[in-house]
Structure 1
Amino acid sequence: MTDTTNQRPVSNNPGDEAATLPTTYTPADVEGELYERWVERGYFTADAKSDKPPFTIVIPPPNVTGSLHLGHAFEHTLIDALVRRKRMQGYEALWQPGMDHAGIATQNVVERELAKEGKSRHDLGREAFVERVWKWKAESGGQISGQMRRLGDGVDWSRERFTMDEGLSQAVQTIFKKLFDEELIYRAERIINWCPRCLTAISDIEVEYQDDDGELVSIRYGDGENSIVVATTRAETMLGDTAVAVHPDDERYRHMVGTEIELPLTGRRIPIVADAHVDPEFGTGAVKVTPAHDPNDFEIGQRHNLPNVAVMDEHAVITVHGPFLGLDRLEARSAIVAALRAEGRIVAEKRPYVHSVGHCSRCKTTIEPRLSMQWWVKVGPLAEAAGDAVRDGKVKIHPQEMEKRYFDWVDNLHDWCISRQLWWGHRIPVWYGPNGEIVCVGPDEQPPTGEGWHQDTDVLDTWFSSGLWPFSTLGWPEQTESLAKFYPNSVLVTGYDILFFWVARMMMFGLYAMDGTPPFHTIALHGMVRDQNGKKMSKSFGNVVNPLDWMDKYGSDALRFTLARGANPGVDVPIGEDWVQAARNFANKIWNATRFALMNGATVEGPLPAAEELTASDRWILSRLGSTVAEVDALYEDYQFSKLSEALYHFAWDEVFDWYVELSKTTLAKGGPQADATRRVLGEVLDVTLRLLHPIVPFVTEALWTTLTGAESVVIADWPTDSGFRDTAAEAEIATLQQVVTEVRRFRTEQGLKPGQRVPAALELDGTALAAHEDAIRSLLRLTAPEDGFHATASLPVAGATVSLDLSGTIDVPAERKRLQKDLAAAEKEKAQTAGKLGNEAFLAKAPDEVVAKIRVRMETAEADIARITAQLAALPQG
């Protein structure tokens, strides 16, 4: 039943409430004002002292450099729908907002600003540069916050956090110290992804792979019988080769294992080693080994104690003395191939050779694998715990089929490089002493002082701090009321694309820092937003859409409903402008239908009348309402946003607006107690429908629901519960009525009648449940009562009733007969052709089953068309 808390009495004068609503819905006139009212009244503010059960979701923190794109709008719509519903259900709901400092991206932005002034960060120095970044953040960063308000995000702005703020920085230093002390963080020289443009190591997630045109050259090392051929796409790295490797079981090279061979162009001699990593079936079965410039070669080098010879500096410039010194890697590649060709050592060349090449996601520069001293997290025990939490059922992944991806990642994690050669970020809290001392400093400890002591110059990978997000935002390492109340999160809603990179890190850190308690109970994964043709959105494709443009044009509700309607778990979402326009039409339909109801005295006051006092259409819509509430609840619990949006759309538009509102017009026109009962049912149905729709389309439902009920806000209204009322007899009765109306409407269309054209008709309804609905049937079908001279030219038997129509003078009979006869001839020709093929035994013996099946379907369709057209011809007036 309706919650009447804080409701004002509805006027006894029908139309008074509707008069407060404009005749048309203009989103721009209401959205901004409503949102600020919600914030000012504290509807989104979560109270850690509340005795309500908690429901917590964190926002995947957008980069401080970012702006709202369709992916954000999609994800935020789903999260907001969950949070709004839980708030209405009586939970103390917290949607935690905030932003990520985005180390590389933000540093690049500010460096570009400096470049316009003819300066670099080195001109300012580290301290002044960091101050400059903070200034940029204060003035220009975080524009996405305002855009989130446009979308309607119900976040608790009083709790907004930033990964570089004081509290989160303390959390970062605390967990670094804890991991360091337990030897889960260490410093070592390993191969990392290096960006020669950004001049830093970058994580695997920041490497984008694409197929590039390159060249594959096969080079002969050594001479005569003691020669061996290797192939490479990166000839410049041969200057750093320290071995050639072959498989231990490869008979072709077994006699050479343990010998040495001359490395061309260098005069150095390198060993031939046997290693199981080599694939003897690939190429020549021999590979060059460059431990300082390839991760697989590094592992081979470790196994065989090979030296690491670095041949490039941080700018990817050759550092080996000789003719190639000072050349960029690409210049060196061409020069080295030319030199090898001159010596007759190139035995094969293939160009273009298309192969997968890693690029920096920020600046698109080709990544250079590079041996470097970096800080690492030993992920073995952390990843094992993250995997076990899902295997043991502590954390559920939705949809379940995504579990395999998760396990494939956490079960095969390599140690994580966490240091970055940047100035913007959390600086590594390690100090080095004059005599080789290494001291890790916690947040409450004083760093060592004195001559020769200095802090590590690197900062931490951005994912290190964002991995703490579910608990650092609640005050950890302090044991705050918020942490006790709102940790762990109820659900994490995020894209499957960062399942490995962000989700896995949160799982590892949450379980480690919070005594085995995972950071969330459920991981609900969604897909990526694509264009209407299913193509990835990209600036290079020219198909990127600014969601603000669509919100300006159609309203935020329209965008939100479109996104939710396409959201199948774990599946990519195509979206086009026409779909947003259709959602805008839905919002207008909600507006117009509610306005009609208010004009006709719909009310939420008082209890619902007893079932026996209601019409069949009243009982039908209340029965369907209860079923819809139950269906939507079940779909929410399964994160089936697309299905629940479809269910709400079809219930609201098809059943409430197109059928019930139309059926109610007849009852309302008659007046009396039954009309009053229908007004109450109409108010109830709209009240519940608006509350069901609110989490997805919050603005239009707020404007309408507060006008309908007089209550304070739908944001804090009770979520509808299934009343349990079902009336199968009424549902069957209205289904029969719908069948009759639908069939006669189809006939009218086939006869070329205009929708509003009135036609005389006789209805034979006696003995059916439809007898009580004659007035409604005539109204819905634009049928007038038969008068003198009525002559039935067409009779339609439908569902036990007969509708006879007099079409005299309403259509051009000769033209209609000619059109139908033409259609009939085409259908008969199609039937004859398909029947001929199906009667041909030779054809049936040779044709594939699917071809035969299609022909059978064609013949059945033709037969149905013949029956339909013949009936239409028979129904035409004679003469």
Structure 2
Amino acid sequence: MSELAKTFEPKAIEAKWYQHWEDNGLFRPERPGAESYTIVNPPPNVTGSLHIGHALDNTLQDIMIRYERLRGKDALWVVGVDHAGIATQMVVERQMEANQDKRTNYSREDFVKKVWEWKEESGGTITRQLRRLGCSMDWSREQFTMDPHFSEAVLKVFVDLYNEGLIYRDKRLVNWDPKLKTAISDLEVENEEVAGHMWHFKYPLQDGETYTYVERDEDGNVTLTEERDYISIATTRPETMLGDGAVAVHPDDERYAPIVGKLCEIPVGPKEHRRLIPIITDDYPDPGFGSGAVKITGAHDENDYGVASRNNIPMYRLMDEVAAMRTDGAPYAEAAARAVEIAKGAETNAKEVDSLNLVPDEYRGLDRYEARKRVVADIDAEGNMIMVEDKMIMQPFGDRGGVVIEPMLTDQWYVNAEELAKKPIEAVKKGDIDIVPKTWEKTFFNWMENIQPWCVSRQLWWGHRIPAWYDADGKVYVAMTEEEAQAQAGEGVALKRDEDVLDTWFSSALWPFATLGWPEETELLKKHYPNDLLVSGFDILFFWDARMMMMGRQLTGENPWPKLYLHGLVRAADGQKMSKSKGNVVDPLGLIDQYGADALRFFMAAMESQGRDIKMDDKRVEGYRNFGTKIWNAARFLQANGIGGSDTISAPAATKPVNRWIIGEVVETLGRLEKAFDEIRFDGMADAIYRFAWGTFCDWYLELIKGDIDDETKAVAAWAFDQILVMLHPFMPFITEELWGAMGKRDYELIVAKWPEPRAEVDMAAKAEVETAIALVSEIRALRAELNIPWSSRLTLHPLEDGAAKGGASLDRMAKADMGEKIDTAPAGSAQVVVQGKSYCVPLADAIDLDAERGRLAKAVEAAEKEVKSLDGRLNNPNFVERAKPEAVEKARADHASRSQEASRLRAALERLG
């Protein structure tokens, strides 16, 4: 044994042991013949640093991997980082801007070299931080999504899917980020409600034509009849009017029936070139909203895109890559004239429509918001504005660029996600993939069964460049290399490579198998794919998890894992989502500095309840640091009594009831713990080991054996403590490894020890005997606390019925009480206690001043009940509940529960005195 310091200090212990584990290859010990167990870590961005969500996600994974490693499996936790196309390019460009430099000053190749330089110098921050958390990953095989072998796999997947017709190029509406100048996915768009306006405009009918406009109430009575020469529309984005292809009304809306099929004029632009567009019917417009008529701008609105696609309405793009009004293309007069011909039914093609720039000369080059002001002012000047109303509107913002997204019609590469989603949907329905908790299945099916084509091209320089080349006519050749593409095109055909790169999620979708060597049939792949479990935040269920399912089934024919565990978010103490703008972000490294990694890890496990969000609570983290101190002090107590490490995996032989009892408690705890692991109940796991280690072993077993520690007890205590260290290790690896080594010379470190196998049964007689003793001591201690009975006063318990418990050394030593003879009636001035259904009386006349104690308790009850009544009034007052800050209401509820409980306890104590 090595003597332990008086105080548990995590910092030095954590640094020492992590380095030792990694240096000695203990995260992946050599176990060639062992059953495999595999988890892949959701690869954090190479730009990232550890946040509280990472701390939760990685703690849960580490618990599972350490558990399976202790069970003797060939446990592989795949680690790596994602190249994070948008995020990384942003970081490098910001650094360049700080030096008065910019990307466009360099060739593509030179800029990419700069990104690689940044990656080598600054890209390992989060991997160092994961080590501080105690993550036992296989660092010897750390992966990067831009590693040569991984890049080869990515290109192969693109080429294969293209050849199978599952990847194609198409012109569709995308979310365009004007700051980043690239398309982004729906999942990367955050909708926020902001103050805006709704403008109502007149669209005059062609040649001043009029019609009778009739409005009716709900009962069919006419409420308005008037002659109109216009149709009224409302919009929050007037600048997009220039790209209108039609005005749509509902087919059942009788107000506009007389003008369906006619043409109306967009009231903006030079009068001599005003465009005419048709009035059509579609189910999309809501007759009860606004005027019931909507402008259809298919190239700049998602809903309008659907209407235009269904009705073969031309879609005109108005803006460039920074969301300024276009300056390229045909002159406005020529483009407007051709667009009118198209509106009247002239034949055209998509390429021609795309080239038409319908932005009048005076608006060209203006920012979209400046153009909006000009359009509104010009329409108002002509008298075609009906009204403008203030309105809260939902605006889409890019989660990276932070600016308003512009829906834009562009040419992009798409994956046929609908086809790839079929097998994952089937797998979840059949139970081949188990989503835990099951409540997420409905969300999964809803998204997967309505999935849209997956846009996988991004207009960036950093990332996997799309392996496609074009000839002068725009014909595409997809191949692994330029040489292969040239062979397809033929000798002498000039080719130009596609400028775009692939969406980061496209490459990370290959993570479960490409990290193991796929497409090569490596031994690692054969043994560790499919993986065994994926632990993920629910927020990347569709970003990553579902896409891994799709790619796994398509490319390997197997599901990537049989079980998907989705955990919740870590929220601020008041339940709000953490954000930098709110100033409520919690730094996990700060918590580790203050309380130690073990305490933070145990907090995460204890609070994780199958997908429910976790409220951050520093006091709870501090409490688990105290739990570590409790275990530390238990080890010091054992050492002081000559008890070290055990030399047996099986439970030692035992004759004493207290020793037979603690062996049975280990058996039962192990059963509860393993059941929780099987069900992936992290809160259940933490609860099982916490209750046993703190309550059963430290608070009771060590107290019960004090003063009577013989060789049998030493052997049993050493064994039981070893079982605690092994069972607790997945949750608190640092302190358990330190204590494992300190308790005696070992042949191996705890990280590769054997999971408990007590090979013992629960001794029910010993269990009953010890639990009775514990119950007696607990009741007497509670009685002393409630009634202020000094420790100097010895108490006597008198059974009031047959079959009562016997006294013993534990009652004498731990409660300073004796068991007296049975009596039929409790004497005056006695308190009564009930232990395991049997009643006892405790005479108190010689122990306390009964009248004074009754008076004290009566006053305390009155004060507690008065406060409860006051809190009742506040909580039953709607003005308080509805208008007070949520945290104030929550505190009042907590105070009410606490004081109610206290009042009940005090009343019970008063009743004991009779």
TM range (shorter): 0.7 to 0.9
Q: Does 1:365 align with 2:368?
A: no
**Structure 1 residues 114 and 38: CA distance shift in structure 2, 3 A:** same
Q: Does 1:575 align with 2:616?
A: yes
**Aligned letter for 1:433?**
D
Q: Does 1:142 align with 2:124?
A: yes
Q: What's the CA shift for 1:576?
A: 1.5
Q: Match for 1:273 among 274, 280, 283?
A: 280
**Aligned letter for 1:317?**
A
Q: SS at the partner of 1:90?
A: coil
Q: SS at the partner of 2:564?
A: strand
**Structure 1 residues 827 and 130: CA distance shift in structure 2, 3 A:** closer
Q: Match for 1:294 among 291, 301, 319?
A: 301
**Which residue of structure 2 aligns with residue 338 of structure 1?**
377
**Aligned letter for 2:776?**
V
Question: Could you list the per-position Cα deviations for residues 466-499 of structure 1 after superposition, in whole angstroms to 9, with x for gaps in the alignment?
Answer: 0010011011111111111100010100011111
Alignment of 1:820-839 (within 5 A): 820-823=857-860
Q: Does 1:751 align with 2:787?
A: yes
Q: Contact 1:827/1:863 (CA < 8 Å) preserved in 2?
A: no
Q: SS at the partner of 1:214?
A: strand
Question: Could you list the per-position Cα deviations for residues 775-808 of structure 1 after superposition, in whole angstroms to 9, with x for gaps in the alignment?
Answer: 212222245999xxxx997555543575756675
Q: Does 1:720 align with 2:742?
A: no
Cα distance in 1 for residues equivalent to 2:455 and 2:180: 16
**Which residue of structure 2 aligns with residue 176 of structure 1?**
158
Q: Match for 1:33 among 16, 20, 28?
A: 16
**Which residue of structure 1 aligns with residue 350 of structure 2?**
none
Q: What's the CA shift for 1:74?
A: 0.4
Q: Higher relative contact order by CA 8 Å / sep ≥ 6: 1 or 2?
A: 1
Q: Contact 1:768/1:801 (CA < 8 Å) preserved in 2?
A: no
**Aligned letter for 2:594?**
K
Q: Does 1:348 align with 2:331?
A: no
Q: Match for 1:470 among 503, 508, 512?
A: 512
Q: What's the CA shift for 1:710?
A: 2.8
Alignment of 1:617-766 (within 5 A): 617-668=658-709, 675-708=710-743, 710-711=745-746, 712-721=748-757, 723-753=759-789, 757-762=791-796
Q: Determine what percentage of the aligned residue pairs are the same residue.
A: 43
**Structure 1 residues 548 and 102: CA distance shift in structure 2, 3 A:** same
Question: Could you list the per-position Cα deviations for residues 665-694 of structure 1 after superposition, in whole angstroms to 9, with x for gaps in the alignment?
Answer: 1422xxxxxx22122221121111111111
Q: Match for 1:248 among 246, 251, 269?
A: 251
**Which residue of structure 1 aligns with residue 220 of structure 2?**
none
Alignment of 1:44-193 (within 5 A): 44-45=27-28, 50-193=32-175
Of 773-782 and 454-463, more deviation after overlay is shown by: 773-782
TM-score, scaled relative to structure 2:
0.84
Cα distance in 2 for residues equivalent to 1:828 and 1:298: 65
Q: Contact 1:201/1:421 (CA < 8 Å) preserved in 2?
A: yes
Q: Contact 1:652/1:689 (CA < 8 Å) preserved in 2?
A: yes
Q: Contact 1:187/1:374 (CA < 8 Å) preserved in 2?
A: yes
Cα distance in 2 for residues equivalent to 1:421 and 1:689: 55
**Aligned letter for 2:714?**
R
**Aligned letter for 1:517?**
E
**Aligned letter for 2:774?**
Q
Q: SS at the partner of 1:313?
A: coil
Q: Contact 1:831/1:863 (CA < 8 Å) preserved in 2?
A: no
Q: What's the CA shift for 1:534?
A: 1.4
Q: Does 1:537 align with 2:578?
A: yes
**Which residue of structure 2 aligns with residue 777 of structure 1?**
811
Q: Match for 1:505 among 547, 570, 583?
A: 547
Q: Contact 2:786/2:909 (CA < 8 Å) preserved in 1?
A: no
Structure 2: gaps of 5 or more residues: 211-227, 327-358, 821-826, 870-898
Q: What's the CA shift for 1:539?
A: 0.7
**Structure 1 residues 245 and 683: CA distance shift in structure 2, 3 A:** same
Q: What's the CA shift for 1:868?
A: 4.0
Structure 1: gaps of 5 or more residues: 1-16, 669-674, 833-857, 875-879
Of 433-442 and 90-99, more deviation after overlay is shown by: 433-442
**Which residue of structure 2 aligns with residue 407 of structure 1?**
445
**Which residue of structure 2 aligns with residue 8 of structure 1?**
none
Q: SS at the partner of 2:168?
A: strand
**Aligned letter for 1:279?**
D
Q: Contact 1:208/1:359 (CA < 8 Å) preserved in 2?
A: yes
Q: Contact 1:761/1:792 (CA < 8 Å) preserved in 2?
A: no
Cα distance in 1 for residues equivalent to 2:515 and 2:492: 35
Q: Contact 2:797/2:817 (CA < 8 Å) preserved in 1?
A: no
**Aligned letter for 1:703?**
E
Q: Contact 1:390/1:397 (CA < 8 Å) preserved in 2?
A: yes
Q: Match for 2:368 among 303, 319, 329?
A: 329
**Aligned letter for 2:24?**
R
Cα distance in 1 for residues equivalent to 2:832 and 2:729: 43
Q: Does 1:591 align with 2:628?
A: no
**Structure 1 residues 233 and 664: CA distance shift in structure 2, 3 A:** same
Of 69-78 and 798-807, more deviation after overlay is shown by: 798-807
Question: Could you list the per-position Cα deviations for residues 256-292 of structure 1 after superposition, in whole angstroms to 9, with x for gaps in the alignment?
Answer: 1211001101311100111223333332221100011
Alignment of 1:367-386 (within 5 A): 367-386=405-424
Cα distance in 1 for residues equivalent to 2:483 and 2:716: 68
**Which residue of structure 1 aligns with residue 856 of structure 2?**
819
TM-score, scaled relative to structure 1:
0.88
**Aligned letter for 2:723?**
V
**Which residue of structure 2 aligns with residue 458 of structure 1?**
500
**Structure 1 residues 865 and 76: CA distance shift in structure 2, 3 A:** closer
Cα distance in 1 for residues equivalent to 2:142 and 2:413: 30
**Structure 1 residues 664 and 608: CA distance shift in structure 2, 3 A:** farther
Cα distance in 1 for residues equivalent to 2:861 and 2:248: 78
**Aligned letter for 1:729?**
A
**Aligned letter for 2:495?**
W
Alignment of 1:207-286 (within 5 A): 207-222=189-204, 225-266=228-269, 267-286=274-293
Question: Could you list the per-position Cα deviations for residues 140-195 of structure 1 after superposition, in whole angstroms to 9, with x for gaps in the alignment?
Answer: 11211111111111100111100011011000000000011111111111110001
Q: Contact 1:758/1:783 (CA < 8 Å) preserved in 2?
A: no
Q: Contact 1:219/1:229 (CA < 8 Å) preserved in 2?
A: yes
Q: SS at the partner of 1:423?
A: coil
**Structure 1 residues 796 and 616: CA distance shift in structure 2, 3 A:** farther
Aligned pairs, number = 813
